[in-house]
Structure 1
Amino acid sequence: MQSLSAKDLTLGYGETIIIDELDIKIPKGEITVFIGGNGCGKSTLLRSLARLLKPLSGSILLDGQEIAKMKTKEVAQKLAILPQSPTTPEGLTVYELVKQGRHPYRGLVKPWSKADEEAVIQALKSTNILNLKDRTVDSLSGGQRQRAWIALTLAQKTDIILLDEPTTYLDMTHQIEILDLLFELNEEKKHTIVMVLHDLNLSSRYAHHIIAIKDKKVYAQGKPEDIITSELVHDVFHMKCNISCDPIFGTPMCIPHGKGRSIYSPQQKPTKLSYMN
């Protein structure tokens, strides 16, 4: 199983520093989620881990090797990334899209092999879209389309999968559907999965490990039940809340303060909820 880590990592665009001398180690075989306010550098960090953004300083290690010194094909055989809101050429079928995941294993003259075909079919089966393989990607629903892109990453046959906001623009049902799929892939195939998510409650429900980013650094990291507190939410998201316990999963559940409609009179309002506060 491949390992992924960063040491003294500094990232930025021009003279603007986004991430400053950051150290992280992604747990093998687990789901890790990056959280933080808008513009804190979550997606920038994820892109750098996939070698899509060159660090200003520091290093990223993939299976003990500096990723910057590795060949592109070698990286692609160990790590796959699904960017935010990917686009496909019009008319491309699901099968044709998922086939792209086999590029790291093929040369200019190497013919399509039985192993390639098996990898594609297995990826389609794992994401429950084999019956859609002849449909065009642009004819699919948002959830189906996201499954097709996840199938492409599975066809790559990597231990590590990075996903940048995989539930963006999906309704609640399809968000849960995609996160359930990723959770099952982790449970059954032991993929190391790293995601950027905005929903704190879903992050707490699906992640084994959470890394909170603030002020260009790691503010906190660990199991959701160990680090998700009202203090963290206030400091990282600048929002007051109570942290309760998810009644179904037992994970931390953020209840924001705000000016929503109350069904209680002032005398009936419930007492303060607590989880880890």
Structure 2
Amino acid sequence: MSALETQALAVSYGNQFIFQDLNLSIDRGRITVLIGSNGCGKSTLLRTMARLLKPQQGNVLLEGQSIASMPTKEVAKRMALLPQGPSAPEGLTVLQLVKQGRYPYQSWLQQWSKEDERCVRQSLETTGMTELAERTVDSLSGGQRQRAWIAMVLAQGTDIVLLDEPTTYLDLTHQIEVLDLLYELNIQEQRTIVMVLHDINLACRYAHQIVAIQDHKVFAQGAPEDIVTADMIESVFHMKAQIIADPLFGTPLCVPHGNGRTIRQAVYA
């Protein structure tokens, strides 16, 4: 059974369809990365799978069950979403933020428990944020802040984690730090990770499966070495490129063509 599946999905804004008749299957216990040019619908697809957007037609299945028929808290116990560029109230500490991940488990009958405390403590340890727990979120560096948000998502205790561009606005060092953390969560805890990334080469390094979106449709889906080709890059990103093997990992490495060197030669000739 797939972790997530869309069946003949149709999503629109007003009269404009973003997706029509979209069928997609997300493998359980794997890392899936959505790639595509700006405006192709990657974030919309992620938000629809998380039930933040209601499709006009079709269905999203969460572990075989229609997500539309599930109670909100039940969905939140099985799937977590980290949106792009989340913001926290001023003065909120890391510990207070991470505790919010336990909200789906709270009720009038079920108040804060030892299990909640354990999950929060483990999430802080896993993300390396224990020593920063009393710091305010707005005082952290970009990489630390993103790890704090990931800790909150982990405290939610779900097997499926969706992330919308988790490396946006981070320098290369912090991008690798965040992606390494997500990779370790997948390997060690078998969490299903679905994320949107802009960097094709990082997507190839970390993904078991890549889904390329083009013209609001799934253009290609599969292992990076199977689908990341020069033809795919040109079709999806309208850019000529050469695909070579990453010298460290052996995964596809996209080397874009361009006229930048020609321009520089003309300027300095």
How far off is 1:217 after superposition? 1.2
- 2:99 maps to a residue whose letter is K
2:44 counterpart SS class: helix
Q: How many pairs were matched up? A: 263
2:260 counterpart SS class: coil
CA distance in structure 2 between the aligned counterparts of 1:163 and 1:185, rounded to whole angstroms: 13
How far off is 1:193 after superposition? 0.1
**Aligned equivalent of 2:137:** 137
**Aligned equivalent of 2:88:** 88
**Aligned equivalent of 2:6:** 6
Q: For 1:77-126, what per-residue CA distance to the aligned partner results, in whole angstroms no more than 9, with x for missing partners? A: 00000000000000000000000000101103532110000000000001
Query: Contact between 1:2 and 1:78, CA under 8 Å: does it hold in 2?
Result: no
CA distance in structure 1 between the aligned counterparts of 2:27 and 2:64, rounded to whole angstroms: 14
- 1:147 maps to a residue whose letter is R
How far off is 1:12 after superposition? 1.3
**Aligned equivalent of 2:194:** 194
- 1:177 maps to a residue whose letter is E
CA distance in structure 2 between the aligned counterparts of 1:53 and 1:179, rounded to whole angstroms: 26
How far off is 1:189 after superposition? 0.6
Q: For 1:137-165, what per-residue CA distance to the aligned partner results, in whole angstroms no more than 9, with x for missing partners? A: 00000000000000011000000000000
CA distance in structure 2 between the aligned counterparts of 1:111 and 1:57, rounded to whole angstroms: 38
Normalised to the residue count of structure 1, the TM-score between the two structures is 0.93
Output aligned runs, 1:65-80, within 5 Å. Answer: 65-80=65-80
CA distance in structure 1 between the aligned counterparts of 2:57 and 2:159, rounded to whole angstroms: 26
Query: Contact between 1:2 and 1:160, CA under 8 Å: does it hold in 2?
Result: no
1:151 counterpart SS class: helix
Q: Does 1:226 align with 2:196?
A: no
CA distance in structure 2 between the aligned counterparts of 1:111 and 1:215, rounded to whole angstroms: 47
Query: Contact between 2:2 and 2:26, CA under 8 Å: does it hold in 1?
Result: no
**Aligned equivalent of 2:153:** 153
**Aligned equivalent of 1:256:** 256
Query: Contact between 2:9 and 2:22, CA under 8 Å: does it hold in 1?
Result: yes
The structure with more helix, counted as a fraction of residues: 2
1:261 counterpart SS class: helix
- 2:69 maps to a residue whose letter is K
How far off is 1:260 after superposition? 2.9
CA distance in structure 1 between the aligned counterparts of 2:168 and 2:53, rounded to whole angstroms: 22
CA distance in structure 1 between the aligned counterparts of 2:54 and 2:216, rounded to whole angstroms: 16
Moved more, 85-94 or 210-219: 210-219
Identity score, percent: 62
CA distance in structure 1 between the aligned counterparts of 2:2 and 2:180, rounded to whole angstroms: 23
Output aligned runs, 1:228-247, within 5 Å. Answer: 228-247=228-247
Unaligned runs of 5+ in 2: none
**Aligned equivalent of 1:167:** 167
Q: Does 1:31 align with 2:31?
A: yes
